[in-house]
Structure formats: structure tokens, C-alpha cells
Chains A and B, each alone.
Chain A
């Protein structure tokens, strides 16, 4: 039996976002989870499931979180799908509840990427907009000996190939960064408030071509969390329920460098599963909250989800489609490029906010009934999708 609309997100919470000197990922996530439980109008004793993730060096992360929050639960686990984990946590919550393992699950992710980088002895001259680097888990052959390090280059390979095949331009990637910065400037908690024009983008310092500094997501200290429960239970809680209409996942485990995965990403199959479950199509989506580790990923995902044909993502974003007034307002709090990089967690929170329709004018997507959320990561091949509705 379909799980369409059977479960709902009933609480959201976030921690401080940005540069939080001395912060710990567990501390930030505890703050976010506490806020999410309060937002739902629940006591922590009413939570009987926990799904979490933090920096990958914390062993058995969910146990540490439960200890911090003083919780024993029926169901808990921590995830290992990189940036696809956060939406996957919501999916697993639904599956566990449907199996009768638990009835109310808190899911969240926290990181202290900015503080960690700052602490690291080799910390470079502190540009904020520099995802990746020393903290990447490094392979020990077939990469570093050729000067290949980390996620920036991985995605830059995809961008280069996309430019080659479809004539996608640097300016089109820039349009993604410029649109998201406009959103961030209207979002009180966003990390980047400085205006960003196309001219600023053109002047951006090259990091790994074709990416410059504005193509890369931020280093952020922050956490986000949501509470998921049954639709039935949701209707008696404090917040208007945001129903989980569809979800999907797909993982191109043979790798980003295999076949055409770097231009036809796992978002396609993940999205098809989610749309089928929801009984919807891309035209039904009022706002997208996409995993934007790099500008290029937004272009690829828009195509793979079917918001435009393959190869036309560049012109699509350059048309202003992602702006608040555009045909598909996207990453309306600024995304990982400008709001803060919490590996897809803040995308889920922003989708819920938009669907509650209580954001101030200038932030609220008009008539936001349906939102699509994506998660992407795990060496760039794991993908998850949520389709939410009010």
C-alpha cells in the first residue's frame, strides 16, 4: 500500500547558522532537535525514534545524540549517504513508522565545518566560500598523485562535460549563484548577505575551473532537524502538517566517473520514483529546494527532475526561473551557496516553512502547495527526493 500522504513533518528546528566559534556538531544538532520537538508542540518523551548524522568521524552518531538529548528510543540509526542522508532520514522514518517500529521520529544533521576548518593548522586565508579541502576523506591512489583532491573537482568534471555537450556557459552557472544570493539577502539567518551581481561573479577567484569561488558552497557551523509522525497524529498537533506525498532514491554506485553519471545524475531515477508515488509531475511543484553543493548541480538536477529538458538547464536558470518571481522559486532561503551548507538539511526546513505559508511577504512563495526537496552526495552518486505538500 502506498505511503502517499500517510506521514507528515510536524516540527522543524535549526541551530545558530554561520560562524559559531568553538561550536561542536553534537551541540548544534542538540539545539536543532530540541527546537524541532518544541516547534511540534511535543515533549521529548513523546519521541520514540531518532535518525541522525554528523561529521563522519563520530562513531555511532545516533547513540551520542540520544545521550545528549537524554532519550531512549525504539528506533534509531545514523546514516552514511553523504548529502543524500538528510532526506533519506525522513524516508527511513516513514518506513520505520509504517513497520510499526515507532510513531514519532526526530531526524537531523549537524556540522561545524567552519570551526573545524578554522582549527585546522593548515587553514588557508579564511575565505568562507570554499567547500572541500583537507576534511575530505582522501583516496590514497588514482587521485592525489595527480593533484586531484575532493568534491570541488569531482563536480567541476561534471560541469565541464555538461558545457562541452550542451554549450552551458559560466554565466549560466553564475545565474544560479546570483538568484540564491538574492534569496539569502531576504532571509534573516542566512550566512551571506553581501549583494552578488553577475559582474561580481565574473570577477570571482578561480578555484578549480570551471568553478570559481561563487560556484562553491559555504563552510558553515549549523544544524537542522525535523520531527516526522503519522498524518493522523499530525492533525492534532500544533503546526499545520506538511504531508510527505512522495519519496525516492537512486544511487549510481558505479561512480560519478562511470558512464554518463556526471551529466545524467541519480536525480532522474530518484525523482521518477518520488513523482510516481506522489501521483504528481514536475508541473505540480511550486518551489524546489535543491542540493546545491555547487552551481552546476542545480542545473543538472533541474534537468534530471524534468523541470526542463536535458541540456537546457543553463538557459532555464539564466531566465530568472529560480527567483522568487520565477517559474520555479528555488532554494528560497539562499541554499548552500548563500544560506549555509548543512548538507541538504536546511532545504527540508525551508520547504516546510514555505508550505506552512507563514513567511513574510518578500520571502513567501505565493500559493506554495507542493515542494520538491533533493539530497545528493556520497561521492556524488547518492540521491534522495522528497515531495511535500501542505
Chain B
């Protein structure tokens, strides 16, 4: 069945992020001058305004800063998902990003540890999503 949810429309700045997702790599920007990491993608470091920065691969680990659970349909593509959780994920490196937490919405809590996985939405687009971090892993 054709994918019927909205797909990201990358900006000039975010294109590398989405290309990374396609390779199942979660990328964040890192400033070479001050060392800060950030998202969403932008042309210069929001801390020190340096343009000397690079894309770097994030660990994919983080925690749920906060979350909401949709019970009302805002887009027909999510009809079969209700109720679904949208979470603000704080990555280990610092930046925060919106995503989904997979699984039972009742299990989602603030500050719960999560890890990234990638969902191949189409041939061209993969979405970074999160699930409860597997515990006790070596």
C-alpha cells in the first residue's frame, strides 16, 4: 500500500540529515569552534555563530523529555495509528528532536531512556523513530 503520511520536505540545511536517515544514521551538527551539537539543522552554530561545523553521527541514545498522545485525527494518514505518541527526544549529545515512541502509548514516560531505529517510509525516505532502550545490554 502506498505510504499516505506526510513526508519531510527537506530544506537546504536539513538535506544531509535526511540523507543520513536513509543510510540509517542519525546525524547532528557539531560546531568545530565550541563543540556544541545542535538540531534542527541551520547554517551556523546557534551558540557561537561559527560557520565551522560538521555533520557527526549521534549515538542514537537519548531520553523522552516530554510527550503527548494524539487521540484526535489531524491527518488521514494516521487513522490506523490512533492513539499514538509524539515525543520530544533529548539526544545524549544534547539536541532535541520530535519523533515517535513505538509501542504501547501507556508505557511512555518523561525521562525514559530510548534508542533510535529507522523506519523505511518509501524508497527515498527513512524516518528516525525511537523505542524503549534495551536494558542490560553489554
Q: Which residues of A pack against B, CB within 8 Å?
A: 130, 133-134, 140-150, 153, 156-158, 160-161, 164, 205-210, 254, 257-258, 262
Contact = CB atoms under 8 A, between A and B. Distances in A.
A164 B66 contact: yes
A146 B127 contact: yes
Contact of A146 (B65, B69, B71, B86): B86
Interface string B89-111: 00000001111100000000111
A207 B72 CA distance: 5
B99 A146 contact: yes
Interface string B63-98: 001111111101101100101101010000000111
22 contacts: A140-B8, A140-B9, A141-B9, A141-B10, A141-B11, A141-B18, A142-B8, A145-B7, A145-B8, A145-B121, A147-B78, A147-B81, A147-B86, A147-B100, A148-B98, A150-B74, A160-B110, A161-B65, A164-B111, A206-B83, A208-B68, A258-B96
Nearest to A150: B74
A164 B63 CA distance: 14
Contact of A153 (B46, B70, B78, B121): B70
B66 A158 contact: yes
**How many residues of B sit at the interface, in one of the four size bands?**
35 or more
Best-buried of B69, B72, B75, B121 by chain A (most CB within 10 Å): B72
Contacts of B75: 144, 147, 149
A262 B71 contact: no
Contacts of A147: 5, 70, 74-75, 77-78, 81, 84, 86, 100
Contacts of A153: 68, 70, 86
Contacts of A254: 46
